[in-house]
Amino acid sequence: AIITGIVIDAFSGLRDEKEAADQDLQTKCFVCNLDRFTLDQKGQGFDKHIQTEHNPRWYLFFLLHLYNARPRSKLTGQEMHVLRKVWPEEQGQKRSFAWLPREKTVSLVDDGEEGQRAASEVHDQLAAMAEQLQTLTQAAGEERKTLQAILSTVAPSTFGVASTFGRSNKQLHPTEAGIMASRR
């Protein structure tokens, strides 16, 4: 009876650990460790965050890409940095996962002064781009009017090309007129 109690107690402990791990996967981002509530309230939502920003599969594929990359000279500087952190070349050096974004994400709205400043900068940049787009649109409209005026003054016959509207056989090039006559 004592052995049965020990076995049951051990299995219940393992079950509790598994449930805690499953609960963590359901409520925290595996990559950045931010909780569901924070991402839902200040971000774009937990599920979208997991799918679009910190998808664990992408990180796994990235690590596999680094591990299997041959030749290593084809890797970028950032890839080499991560490769050396995860698989250090020197024997006594420990693995480091400091390159992972811990409790950070791009889509998280910061309530602090820095977040407001960054949002203000983005807003200013968008306003400047909208102004430039407006200026370019106006310039393109003016150029279009100028080109239309030039084209209207040049007679189509100058180029030996018939008008595309209301063409009659008289305006066709002799080769085109022959083709049209043979189709009748």
In tens, the pLDDT along 115-173 reads 667 777 888 888 899 999 999 999 999 999 998 888 888 755 555 554 454 445 455 55
Characterize 59-92 residue by residue with b for buried, 16 or more Cβ atoms within 10 angstroms of its Cβ, and e for exposed. eeeeeeebeeeeeeeebeeeeeebbebeeeeeee
13-17-21 Cα angle (round to 5)? 170
3-state secondary structure of 35: strand
Full-model pTM: 0.51
What is the distance, to the nearest Å, from the Cα of residue 24 to the centroid of all Cα atoms in its chain? 27
User: Residue 69 and residue 63: Cα distance in Å, rounded?
Assistant: 10
Non-local (6+) Cβ contacts of 104 within 8 A are 32
Average per-residue pLDDT in the chain? 82
Lowest average pLDDT, out of 42-51, 63-72, 139-148, 170-179, goes to 170-179
Where in 20-80 does DSSP place strands (E)?
none
